[in-house]
Amino acid sequence: MSRLLLAVLLLLAGCAAGEPTTGAASSAVAPTPSRSAAYDAALHDELVAMLERDQSGRTGGPDPEGDAARTARLAEILDAHGWPTRELVGEDGAEAAWAIAQHSDLDPAFQQRALELLRQAVAAGQASPGELAYLTDRVAANTGRPQTYGTQVSCTPDGPQPAVPLADPAAVERLRAEADLDPLAAYLAEMADICAEE
């Protein structure tokens, strides 16, 4: 995953308080359906285009659909295909699905469902452990729980700080390494450069 894209996704992911959830994915988590391993070019293109609109809106450009509509559409995709794996939609299509789930803060039930499906895809070797780490922390932060990997940070006058505390500070470096993430100090230094640009 591109570090710049990742940083943009993290820093510009806010959403308005009090907006209604989509309700599109409030059903219980079901196992990832067994699907054909065929690559789906149309689904790939749709996911990548959804992410382009997502990023456009977060950088001051047009975003005609907004997060709620993207969440609803991703919920439909999960219903039809399970998690959009690398095999199904390619590396960039899978990354786009993750980013959309990451930005689905208006629908915590959907985010939890996406997390469970992504966890299954990672276990099958069809999704990124790093993306799973980011979504794990995002769901924890959105539900007021401590984060595991330290991926959710806020830009403060003193530089980047964890948005919520770490569940186990002594284990964070080991857990980050297991998820193929850089050490926390290196990540915070990278985020400091991004925070300084704001």
The pLDDT value given to residue 37: 60
DSSP annotation of 183: P
Only one residue has tokens 């149309």, namely: 42
The pLDDT value given to residue 198: 75
Mean pLDDT by 10 residues, the chain (198 residues): 41 32 33 60 98 96 96 98 97 98 97 98 97 98 97 94 96 98 96 89
Show the tokens assigned to 16: 């308005």
The pLDDT value given to residue 197: 86
**What does the DSSP assignment read for 121-155?**
HHHTTSS-HHHHHHHHHHHHHHTT--BSS---EEE
Cβ–Cβ under 8 Å, residues 136 and 149:
yes
Strand 153-156 to 159-162 pairing: antiparallel
| Secondary structure element (H or E) that encloses residue 159, with its range | strand 159-162
